[in-house]
Structure 1
């Protein structure tokens, strides 16, 4: 009997342990919350080496009664006045995916002479939040000086906001000398030209912001850092054009489906992380940047005209196998481009590769079109003097004038389709500049019959073994 009891207790304990572990596991995969606290004076100038304390709701109530109550965590502001908190699911979100948190800056001379300023609100796992604490010293104040700030309000009761905001739309900035900007939570949209030619160096966009309109930050040549929120749905045309100090942006957590024309044109960008939701890149969106690698998800549908033209440092591009349009000169003059790869499956074979899409990509040695290809308009590879191999998928129906000509020798052009595509004009390299045209096994006569007017190339046609 004792043995049976012992075994029963052991089994019960193991089950409870298993259920406990199972209950804990989901939190391991939660994305942390990120909170940026910008500490500045009343002029918006950043305050370095300020200690920002973090309190949960109950501990903050205790602090309000007794300023000696210690915070749960502390971070010191950097040169830009920013304290960066990364909050894991535990211990900060034990009751759910959101928590009420407060952030406090305190200046303490002695037990009876202290000042403190606070700001906070609801913080949610997986999201980026930003708050601003303005450290304002009131003239002639003695003893305690406290400023408690509610989410979405400006720091201090008597401190005027540096922004012009109407019905959630930020239309302008009152102090053009501001260099560090953290937008308040109430902003839903940034109007056209709101920060054009500004002196901003660091920018934290608030969670809740959905739209950045035309030329919102264009010409802000000192802008070097931008934090984008998950709520962002639209970046308008020319929004960050000529922001030459901006070298890296992370859009991966945003809800963007399109990046509009000229949005990042002539910026200093070397690295961009794109979101999985992105479907379209507008014309000249990244023209003249310094990107080294571009990786898109399988959801990408369209790259508009000249989107990446002249990005000479670009070496690698990853596109969707279901892309439906690669526009005019989309990647032309990318002189160091050596690799074009694809992700995902082909769903609709209607892709149009327009004129000059990859012309003057002088480092390309091999190129395969996406599985969704329907038509190659022409002049695709002119000037690609190192290109030796070109592969066209089964879906291709039409090949335009000069489409496969590089003006140098191409060793192999491979057609994977059972049916020969329509040829227009003079699609092939000069006869002496091509070694062989590969077609599926048993299909050489089908291709020759379809290409009757290209008889001089029939001798180049070979079947795959």
Structure 2
């Protein structure tokens, strides 16, 4: 294990600035997480008592069985395992962490057992609904979208469709729910949604226009960041909390349409540079409940 810790430390050192206190904290947390970890024959690391899957080797391939007795699949545990085709999860697992299976590009089958009670933010980035079979009563997949059991929280988009209509049951769009859905051109957000999580629509390269209903009170950081073709965003109401990075790196953005009298609020909240303030336009009249997204 000493050799493994040294290897991890060497890799992290190469990517971190030793003068940065935050990055040093990341380094120390990573080393603490790996303390006592053991890897199996496939190169998958487990906690000392084998209750947690910590990290899998990026060379993992074929079919992999997580052993009985495992309770938690850690954040990013299988992230970027591009060659694994199936991961078998035992009925002892109760929690799957953030982005746990993200970017497993060769994955053909993933069954979420009934024992799973907790999901981190979008464990299934880049995966589609025909791959994920959810047997847990705590979550549901319907029309290629994954929700909490009551369908109030949208957890993950599991389709590469060009258009998605979010149902009116949804009140919250989770962190990273639609990230990297690069064929998505149009999404309809209902007026039941109150919160949009961080990176919810980040890296949606084909998304050109978005309408935020007046019901939304919170938009977290990078919610629409790095949407290369996003040209227009319309706010039908005054969102109380809009993270400054909501639309960062949207280089094609030409119009931000806001309600009458709300331009100063959005310029301040979004930290719109002085030279771009003219793209914020007060064209939404009080009482407007919907603005059609153009088909151009």
Normalization by structure 2: what TM-score? 0.49
Larger RCO, structures 1/2 (Cα 8 Å, 6+ apart): 2
Normalization by structure 1: what TM-score? 0.34
Radius of gyration: which is bigger? 1
